[in-house]
Amino acid sequence: MSGTQLARGSLTSLAAALTLLTTGCAEKADGTQVAADACRAAGGWSAEKRAEWLRTAVSFPAEAAAEEAAVVIGSHTGEPLCEPITVQVQFWEATATRAGTDLRSVLRIRLNTDGGMPRTIGFPAGLSPEERDGCTGVLLAAYPGTPLAESELPKDIGLLVPGTAKARFRTDRVGAHRLLPPSEPESCRENGETTTAPPATPNPWGSNHP
């Protein structure tokens, strides 16, 4: 092989190496190119499809550790997305009353994720397990895209009873949600304050009086 052919071969190898570095692709034995760091395209996905993807990446830690982590958007089980998607994490205060349950949005966090790195979100101030009273619960949800409209929120979640409380959003684009009901809903007034039993009337005669 002549020196000219060797030089051309070296230049070809160098060009191929530079292509791999710039494109992130590797060449198979048959000459086809495959992505070295595969990613998943989601540019044409609907909101419902993005919610389906998000569902497998969201987890809600046990309340024992919830002060630091109310919601975790973890690494996705498949390839990360080629472009991150917008995700909203929203918290509502769920106040039990005799008439039902009042929902009030208290915090909404907007973030971008491609499913490659975990993200941890804590409870809003006043709604951690240690801070909530017996009439206060929390509804939290993670969903892609724009903030939920009023027509997409649960219409009526009724009287919250621990162990059986449920919330049904009126949309398919909520990836995951969790409802933490008040601990003592049966003792709450119309204004969401806990009722207290009247103090016992002291016995003026003493315990030995017949």
Whole-number percent of the chain with pLDDT over 90: 39
pLDDT, one tens digit per residue, over 67-81 is 568 999 977 667 888
Query: Which one has a higher pLDDT value, 193 or 3?
Result: 193
What lies within 8 Å, CB to CB, of 82 at 6+ separation is 39, 40, 41, 42, 43, 114
Tell me if 134 sits within 8 A of 173, measured CB to CB.
Answer: no
* pLDDT on residue 65: 53
Q: What distance in Å separates the CA atoms of residue 39 and residue 114, rounded to the nearest whole number? A: 9
Query: Which one has a higher pLDDT value, 54 or 64?
Result: 54
* pLDDT on residue 77: 67
* pLDDT on residue 178: 92
Q: Kindly report the average pLDDT of the chain as a whole number.
A: 76
Query: Which one has a higher pLDDT value, 56 or 207?
Result: 56
Q: Among the CATH numbers 2.30.30, 2.60.40, 1.10.3470, 1.10.150, which is that of 47-187? A: 2.60.40
Spell out where 152-210 has E strands: 176-180
What lies within 8 Å, CB to CB, of 177 at 6+ separation is 139, 140, 141, 142, 167, 169
pLDDT, one tens digit per residue, over 129-159 is 889 999 999 999 999 999 999 999 988 776 6
Whole-number percent of the chain with pLDDT over 70: 66
* pLDDT on residue 43: 82
Domains of the chain, residue spans: 47-187
pLDDT, one tens digit per residue, over 157-201 is 766 666 666 788 999 999 999 998 888 888 887 766 776 544 444
